A and B are shown apart, each in its own frame.
Chain A
């Protein structure tokens, strides 16, 4: 599975959009981009995933660049409860595991 690079930390004001970037320059054609988050040592929570088209659900939007080498997770109106570590994971069909890196610690400030 392709390696991902994320900033170690970001801050966001409550009510504003949080844009979390992820680089995955070695991604291959059949690999999906997944986003999970982990709130203070709780079990990781699935957020969204996509292949090449932009995706949106009730939690977030995922924007994948046309060359698929990077993506951005958007939380449109961040709340204090969105403070968590966000993991960007690239996952293909050759393995069964999710490979979590260090992620981005997002802190939403009042």
Chain B
């Protein structure tokens, strides 16, 4: 089944403890991105990648890192999480920059 998977689905952590949210897609898509969703602010793009080893900032990249060493994986790294990064995170992929995006199920992160 074609899908985008994210892990973990739920995470509660404390300020400053490094964490990684994994994202993987099995559709051989070149394009992947991360979004966060907050009440009243909609979905905002954090980072995106147009192919292996090619990443760029989205609208709200501060406090996040990403890497794209393999085509299928696009992990989101929070080196020192803070409470304002408490949010619902979505990974998405598509086979080209402007084609329909397939979204993962989401990761609900709480930073205490």
A binding-site residues for B, Cβ under 8 Å:
32, 34, 41-46, 49, 91, 93, 96-103
Q: Taking A43-B4, A43-B105 as contacts, is the C-beta distance between A98 and B97 under 8 angstroms?
A: no
- Count A-B contacts at CB 8 Å: 52
Cβ-defined contact, B42 with A41, below 8 A: no
B binding-site residues for A, Cβ under 8 Å:
4, 31, 33, 35, 37, 40, 42-43, 45, 48, 50, 56, 58-59, 88, 90, 92, 97-98, 100-106, 108
| Cα separation A96 to B98 with both chains bound (whole Å) | 7
| Cα separation A100 to B37 with both chains bound (whole Å) | 10
Q: Taking A43-B4, A43-B106, A49-B100 as contacts, is the C-beta distance between A97 and B88 under 8 angstroms?
A: no
Cβ-defined contact, A98 with B106, below 8 A: no
Cβ-defined contact, B43 with A100, below 8 A: yes
Cβ-defined contact, B90 with A43, below 8 A: yes
Q: List 7 A-B contacts (CB under 8 A).
A: A32-B98, A43-B4, A49-B100, A93-B98, A96-B33, A96-B97, A99-B42
What's the dominant secondary structure at chain B's contact region? strand
| Cα separation A49 to B90 with both chains bound (whole Å) | 21
- When C-beta atoms are compared, the residue in chain A nearest to B108 turns out to be A41
Cβ-defined contact, B42 with A44, below 8 A: no
- A97: min CB distance to chain B, Å: 4
- A23: min CB distance to chain B, Å: 17
Cβ-defined contact, B42 with A97, below 8 A: no
Q: Which of A46, A96, A102 contacts B42, CB < 8 Å?
A: A102
| Cα separation A53 to B4 with both chains bound (whole Å) | 30
| Cα separation A4 to B59 with both chains bound (whole Å) | 18
